[in-house]
Amino acid sequence: MKDRIKEAVASGAIQHMAFIMDGNGRWATRQGKSRNEGHKKGAKVFEEVAEYCHNIGIHHVTVYAFSTENWRRPEDEVSALMRLLSSYLDTAIKRFREKQIRVVFLGDKSVFPKKLIAKMEKLETITKDHTDILNIAFNYGGRDEIVHACREVIASGEEISEETISKHLYTAASPDPDLIVRTAGEMRLSNFLLWQAAYAEFYYTDTLWPDMNAEEIDKACAAFLLRKRNFGALPEEAKLN
């Protein structure tokens, strides 16, 4: 990473970076492997990317690992993704304790087997005091999240407002994403962070998720740093806020 970009990122230019991890299937097909092998490689790369972002000073990272729509995939592929999560969780506690990262699962956990829920909650509880956050969206959908947040606001007796809805989103512990990266050449949000993406910058790359690496993250950061963000204001007014 060029020093100029490194300094900007380390000094907080990107607080929250989110990833739509696309292209595991295409990567596998190109390698003559099964789709599940693609997800396995994708899971390894997810760990490397999350760690790299943490190391360069991005305090909040979110990955889209399984959407509310992914249940429509063949049973064998859904089971393989569940197994990947389960085996990942077996080693995750030690790793995140060492790295001082808090893990938060975004989405409705209640549909998972009790054993898996227990593992997810254990990881969340053990890491809850760390300030850097890795959000893992699993059984997550942006529309579902907004409905869930509204229901919680109503149940709490609070008024519906932007503040109260934001406070009840799964991502309540993180600021809105500054940068959303999607791999594999697709240019869609696919029900990801719909509320939080209001002023996010987008970065698309043709690189397939299993081929993502530090160099690609650096390119995304460099592109972000060239963007002018006015948040709806005129450039001069945006600078004052």
Residues that bind ligand FPP (CB under 6 A): 21-26, 39, 42-43, 46, 65, 70, 84-85, 88, 136, 184, 209
What are 197's two structure tokens?
């993406």
Q: State the nearest-atom distance from the C-beta of 95 to ligand FPP, in Å.
A: 12
Indicate which residue of 70, 108, 144, 191 is catalytic: 70
Q: State the nearest-atom distance from the C-beta of 199 to ligand FPP, in Å.
A: 25
Q: State the nearest-atom distance from the C-beta of 58 to ligand FPP, in Å.
A: 18
Closest CB to ligand FPP among residues 87, 230: 87
Closest CB to ligand FPP among residues 23, 142: 23
- The yes-or-no answer on residue 22 being catalytic is yes
- The yes-or-no answer on residue 129 being catalytic is no
Nearest 5°: the CA angle 9, 88, 221 is 15
Q: State the nearest-atom distance from the C-beta of 184 to ligand FPP, in Å.
A: 6
Closest CB to ligand FPP among residues 28, 165: 28
Active site residues: 22, 70
